[in-house]
Amino acid sequence: MKDKVISAFSLLIDSHMLQRIISCTESEASRVLDKKWALTETKLKAFLGILYARGAYEAKNLKLSYLWNTKWRPSFFSSTMSRNEFLEILKFIRFDKKNDRSQRLKNDKFALISTVWDKFIENSQNWHKPGTNITIDEQLFPSKTRCRFTQYLPNKPDKFGIKFWLASDVQTKYIVNGFPYLGKNLWYSNLLNRKV
């Protein structure tokens, strides 16, 4: 079963994506710490596994420190990595390189993560063939990030976040395509530039 889960994960989040995240994260950590800092693919997968498990446990509003609490925690978290290791990766994780970011932001408001997001969508389309029924709807991904396209949606459980338009297979719930809502000016051009 474990091998099947890892195989399915690797189809959507492939080694190319992981290597990009590792490279960008190491660059940021080395820049901030002013010394070489390394992140292995195994550690990154463990980090992503903890994030996934946190969602599965419906613990997104729980303080991170509680997940490693010796009295109340599920043992999965502490046996995967220490809280300090997790927080260090969380502090430095990046999806793009800072040195050319300002130039890319002129053309793409989503430049900080667009390369990884586009690869995720490409992998979703390559490895999942949707059924005949596809639904398109907005999805608010909760975020406390301050950016130009953070949305306030009062009718959603999490009021603030980044709004995405997602096309999903009705039967399997897999994402077939999706893009972020980047504001009124860019919404139509973003829609026209991407396959729906």
Q: Residue with structure tokens 């999965």?
A: 76
Query: What is d(CA 179, CA 190) in angstroms, rounded to the nearest whole number?
Result: 8
- For residue 129, give the 3-state DSSP assignment: coil
Q: What is the pLDDT of residue 108?
A: 85
CA 194 to chain centre: 19
Per-residue pLDDT in tens (0 to 9) along the chain, 196 residues: 566 667 888 888 999 999 999 999 999 999 999 999 999 999 999 999 999 888 887 777 778 888 888 877 778 888 899 999 999 999 999 999 888 888 888 888 888 999 999 999 999 999 988 999 999 998 988 887 788 888 888 888 888 899 999 999 999 999 999 999 887 755 445 554 555 4
Would you say 21 and 131 are in contact if contact means Cβ atoms under 8 Å apart? no
Closest by CA position to 112, among listed 6, 20, 16, 8: 20
pTM of the model as a whole: 0.83
Length of the chain: 196
Task: From residue 8, give the alpha-carbon distance in Å to each of 5, 50, 65, 166, 168.
Answer: 5, 17, 30, 20, 17
Q: What is the pLDDT of residue 39?
A: 97
Closest by CA position to 164, among listed 186, 136, 138: 138
Q: Residue with structure tokens 């800092």?
A: 37
